[in-house]
Amino acid sequence: MKPSIPKGTRDFSPTEVANRTYIINTIKTAFETFGFQPIETPSFEKSSTLMGKYGEEGDRLIFKILNSGNFFYEKDSIDLPESYEKLKFNSLDDLESKEKIELNRFTNRISGKALRYDLTVPFARYVVQHQNEITFPFKRYQVQPVWRADRPQKGRFREFYQCDADVVGSKSLWQEVEFIQLYDTVFTQLGLAETTIKINNRKILSGIAEVIGAQDKLIDFTVALDKLDKIGQEKVETEMLSKGITSAAIQKVQPLFSFDGNNQENLDALAKMLTTSEEGTKGVEELRFVINSISELGLQSASLEVDVTLARGLNYYTGAIFEVSAPKGVKMGSIGGGGRYDDLTGIFGMKDVSGVGISFGLDRIYLVLEELGLFKTVALPKPKVMFVNFGENEALYCMKAISQLRVKGIKSELFPDAAKMKKQMNYANKREIEFVVIVGSQEIENDEFTLKNMVSGEQSKCSLLELIQTLL
RNA sequence: GUGGUUGUAGCUCAGUUGGUUAGAGCGUCGGUUUGUGGUACCGAAAGUCGUGGGUUCGAGCCCCAUCUUCCACCCCA
């Protein structure tokens, strides 16, 4: 039987761990530079904490944990609900609400826990649960794995790391400004030039829906608009008409079709278009504040771009929406995302606490850096010196010296077996260990060591003191 | 969840229209060299051809199912 790991999971080699640690440390250092503090939460939560927070699609992707116990034993046995039979021949939508409740109750009996789906909802739970210990505004960061029962593909895994930074308890738009700076800082330090930070505002999307007179058509509208540079204005309008958006409505939002990437002009066009919508106008003002502040402060390597088709996280974002795309030419989805949610803790009973945050997708950033060859050669942890093992007496003599070296902080090890010289040298060579110490009866007699430099091939005899001095 | 794709030695891959005993390179181990690595030469071990069924005198190759890989859609990091 060949051993293997579950679909969508990965093993990491020493080199990969070193590279991942490098990325994580860069992100964590930036987080702390911006004043965030770390927290951690459990890898699994109660199902009730997670279910219903990510929309219907999200619920499907949550990994549920089976309760302990054997449901077929007499004493633990659970009867299948009657509506289960009906479900075999009907879709969920055909069931009566009473039957759905019965099914949910059954699910709760067999599964009450689920793996963390993201870091934002557990954070909201944390804030509500610890509200009396927290000083607001609370700035926390969190770097932990999350799990999704998704089908794997390029840059998509079932277990992956998110690196989140969020602020709760402040409605200040300076937070949005700082998060853009934070993105810029991290990607600049990673050498990932020319990332694009796309920004939108939920209030603008609501405003557009108001102007076209159809709140429920907003998704269809943005999806169609998103295709503008691929299929052209004419086909986009055709698609909108086919989705039931009137041509009068399309006329009202004509400026959207002539966006040219200049943020100021785009903002002006949006403002003009949304004058009749109070909420839309508010959104434009918010966006303008962020854009103007950033253009005053400047960015190192990223560019900030208004993108009205950005409609991610529509379920919970209420203000700014962020998404970071990889440098042009790299085929990869977003490597980061985030936004403002005015009432996230509301679902856990704590009203009127505004939050805003961003996330870095570690695994995708890894893939992008790898594709662009941006990993610096990370030094793998390895000993500086290896002692050849000739037998019990020699090994003991070596271990005494090794203890001294380790006290001095010199990474050193003894080859564990008295194997053939060739094998031992080969091992040192493969691991690219810089020095080898050879001790036989002769060296023991003279109380000395033979030190060999594996790069130059030179070797000489020396005392313990000289050994330490050379290796330090 | 929908559609496509992949699986042969530890790794990367050959394997003809279905036909004896499934090959190579790299790696591993041993030897040339019992206190000296990288190079060279010689040799060896290693595979239930993803798994389970089926067709056939005969299947790595054809059919079905299933798992896995990768990719697109949806959605997302």
CATH of A385-471, one of 1.10.600.10, 3.40.50.800, 3.40.50.300, 3.40.50.150: 3.40.50.800
Protein residue minimizing CA–C1' distance to B77: A361
Identify the pLDDT of residue A362. 95
Torsion on CA atoms A165, A171, A177, A183, rounded to nearest 10: 10
Binding site annotation covers A307?
A: no
CA of A254 to C1' of B59 (A): 64
Closest alpha carbon to A25 in A179, A138, A118, A143 = A143
Output the distance from A174 CA to B14 C1' rounded to whole Å.
62
The separation, in Å, between residue A188 CA and nucleotide B45 C1' comes to 51
Residue A30: its pLDDT value, please?
Answer: 98
Residues of chain A with CATH 3.30.930.10: 14-48+116-371
Q: Is A148 annotated as a binding residue?
A: yes
* Residue A118 labelled as part of a binding site: yes
β-pair partners for A199:
A306, A322
Q: Which residues of chain A have pLDDT under 70?
A: 1-2, 70-77, 83-96, 230, 261, 314, 377
Q: Which segments of chain A belong to CATH 3.40.50.800?
A: 385-471
Nucleotides of B under 7 A from a protein CB: 1-3, 28-31, 33-38, 50, 67-77
Q: What is the ipTM for the molecules in this complex?
A: 0.86
Residue A464 assigned ligand-binding role: no
The residues, any chain, with a CB within 8 Å of residue A304's CB and separated by 6 or more, are A180, A196, A197, A199, A263, A291, A294
| The pair of three-digit structure tokens given for residue A403, joined into one six-digit string | 């203890």
Q: Which residue is nearest to nucleotide B10 (CA to C1')?
A: A2
What letter represents residue A363's amino acid? D
Distance A387 CA to B42 C1' (A): 31
Q: What is the pLDDT of residues A373-415, one digit of tens each?
A: 888 767 778 899 999 999 999 999 999 999 999 999 999 999 9
Inter-residue contact A325 to A335 (CB < 8 Å): yes
Residue A299 assigned to a binding site: no
In the 3-class helix/strand/coil scheme, how is A260-272 assigned residue by residue?
CCCHHHHHHHHHH
A340 annotated ligand-binding residue: no
pTM of the model: 0.89
- A440 CA from B71 C1′ (Å): 59
User: Cβ(A194)–Cβ(A282) under 8 Å?
Assistant: no
A14-48+116-371 has CATH 3.90.79.10 classification:
no
**Stated in angstroms, how far is A92 CA from B58 C1'?**
51
